[in-house]
Amino acid sequence: MPTENDTSIKDIFSKAEEAEKKDDTKKAIELYKAVTDEDNLNIPAYDKLMKLFRKSKEYKKELSLVNKAIKVYEAYYKMRWRKHSKTIDSISSKLNKSLGLTDKEGIHVYDPEPLGKWKKRKIIVQNKLKK
């Protein structure tokens, strides 16, 4: 059952989409920021904001947003990572290494989405800022 907070986030998001369709970029950015302030794990709002900053060539703001989103999701995934018994951790580690999901030190090779695409975008934005 959706809560009152969920409904308001959906309302703000739909208003932001309407503003975006009307080419009111400033209002759309403001509304998408309000969504991310209320729900800091809202991937579509982050993606839309990044897209709007990219379209308006505000690369510093886009980079700042990308860094914020990456930081929020890394903290989220770290918090959700559960420890299991030594046996399960050992088997999981061996399996991940054999499948190529981790390197020899046990560090994950692939980032869960949306981190992977955001880290790629971060590199692109940093290169644009160097020009």
pLDDT the model gives residue 1: 37
Residue 60 has which token pair? 């510093």
Judged against a pLDDT cut of 50, whether residue 2 lies above it is answered with no
Instruction: Give residues with Cβ within 8 angstroms of 33, minimum separation 6.
Output: 49
The full DSSP string for 55-84 is: HTT-HHHHHHHHHHHHHHHHHHHHHHPPP-
Measured between alpha carbons, how far is 65 from 72 in angstroms, rounded to an integer?
A: 11
Residue 63 has which token pair? 């980079």
Distance set, CA 70 to CA 55, 57, 86, 96, 108 (Å): 21, 20, 30, 23, 16
pLDDT the model gives residue 71: 96
Measured between alpha carbons, how far is 33 from 31 in angstroms, rounded to an integer?
A: 5
pLDDT digits (tens, 9 = 90+) for 95-125: 999 999 888 888 888 888 899 999 999 999 9
pLDDT digits (tens, 9 = 90+) for 48-86: 999 999 999 999 999 999 999 999 999 998 887 777 788
How many beta carbons lie within 10 A of that of residue 103, not counting itself?
A: 11
Find out whether 70 and 115 touch, Cβ atoms under 8 Å.
Answer: yes
Instruction: Report the predicted TM-score, pTM, of the whole model to 2 decimal places.
Output: 0.81
